Amino acid sequence: MSEATSAPVDTSRHPLLWPLLATLLIIGWSSGFVGIRYANQEASVMLLLFWRTLLSGLILLPFALFMGPGISMRAVRDQALFGIMAVFLYLGGFALAIEQKVPTGLVALIADLLPLAIAALSQPVLGERLTARQWQGTAIAVAGVLIVSFDSLSLGTAPIWAYGLTVGSMLVFAAASVLYRRHERSRMPVYQSLCIHTLVGSVLFGLCASAQGSLAPPMTRDFAIGMVWLVLIATFLAYAVYYTSLRLFPVAKVSSAIYLSPPVTMIWAWLLFSEPLTLGMIAGLLVTLVGVWMTSRG
């Protein structure tokens, strides 16, 4: 294969590296709400995801082709599988569940239990055993997420399969994260792998969106703002930092930062859309912070 193999980074000599990456990851992961909020009023979710992934892939394409090592067909095949799992099935599964009227609060809660699934998979697949302290931190973080999400939880009237779809989408991304960590051969630069992931996702989302109607984007200010936000922050920042962190740190440690996504999303909503920020949400944020700190330091 022709992927680049970079020398490993001694993270013990860079004590501020993980706090920096974790902060960027939390900002990027939680910011997807903002772009969706702006753009979803103008287009269907599938059309929105099509343009998000297409624009992301096309922006990265010149860098992937001309600034990195040569990309073999085997590498494209391997990375395309991650694109199907981590982009199309993960994002598309939750989008379809919401369209089927699964309550958004319940979808968000299931999505944000992703680190718990990754922690469970990391030991049998990667041999990365969590300590008792890390499991305690995980339990505390889950409790914090439940506190934050409590007010928005409801069961709704969606078909049974739609609820299973949310769980399945979360588990698919957990499996993709663990396999990405294990897949030592895939050492191409992150911008190359992310380019393949998003372009593969755009083809599949485009097929879904075309079945619903036109692929033409709405020519509105809110859709444009949403796209810029989703591409630059929710895709480039979130996915690039996530994949980079997976190469440097244990997968359960990296994923634990995602527990802070729900409370930080509430802060985004409060700052940008004047949505209420209750004492319960603040308490949940503090509890989650304690849990993530214990998990990261374990």
pLDDT band, very low/low/confident/very high, at 1 (cuts 50, 70, 90): very low
- Taking phi first (over 0 means left), then psi (-120 to 50 degrees means alpha), and beta for anything else, what does residue 254 get? alpha
Taking the C-alpha atoms of residue 82 and residue 65, their distance in angstroms, rounded to an integer, is 19
What's the mean pLDDT in 112-121? 80
What's the mean pLDDT in 66-78? 86
237 has a pLDDT exceeding 90:
yes
Taking the C-alpha atoms of residue 298 and residue 1, their distance in angstroms, rounded to an integer, is 36
pLDDT band, very low/low/confident/very high, at 232 (cuts 50, 70, 90): very high
Higher-pLDDT residue of 43 and 296 is: 43
CA 205 to centroid of chain Cα atoms? 17
User: What share of the chain in percent tops pLDDT 70?
Assistant: 87
User: So what's the pLDDT on residue 153?
Assistant: 58
User: So what's the pLDDT on residue 210?
Assistant: 93
User: What share of the chain in percent tops pLDDT 90?
Assistant: 22
User: So what's the pLDDT on residue 198?
Assistant: 96
Query: Side chain identity at 106, as an amino acid letter?
Result: L
Q: Token match 């599938």: residue?
A: 46
101 has a pLDDT exceeding 80:
no
User: So what's the pLDDT on residue 7?
Assistant: 43
Are the beta carbons of 226 and 217 closer than 8 angstroms? no
Higher-pLDDT residue of 98 and 59 is: 59
What's the mean pLDDT in 279-289? 81
For 24, 53, 142, 195, 198, the CA distances from 57, given in Å and listed in that order, are 21, 6, 34, 5, 5
User: So what's the pLDDT on residue 184?
Assistant: 57
Mean pLDDT over each residue of the chain, to the nearest integer = 82
User: Which among 75, 43, 91 has a CA at the least distance from the CA of 189?
Assistant: 75
What's the mean pLDDT in 217-224? 89
- Taking phi first (over 0 means left), then psi (-120 to 50 degrees means alpha), and beta for anything else, what does residue 213 get? left
User: Which among 187, 171, 186, 4 has a CA at the least distance from the CA of 77?
Assistant: 186
pLDDT tens per residue, range 22-47: 899 989 888 887 777 777 777 888 89
pLDDT band, very low/low/confident/very high, at 11 (cuts 50, 70, 90): low
What's the mean pLDDT in 103-116? 74
Are the beta carbons of 93 and 168 closer than 8 angstroms? yes
Higher-pLDDT residue of 120 and 57 is: 57
What's the mean pLDDT in 251-255? 82
User: So what's the pLDDT on residue 186?
Assistant: 55
Higher-pLDDT residue of 145 and 27 is: 27
**Structure tokens that stand for 173 in this block:** 């991304």
What's the mean pLDDT in 199-213? 93
89 has a pLDDT exceeding 90:
yes
Helix (H) or strand (E) holding 242, with range, is helix 238-248
What pTM does this model have? 0.81
Highest mean pLDDT among 47-51, 127-131, 155-159: 47-51
Higher-pLDDT residue of 150 and 65 is: 65
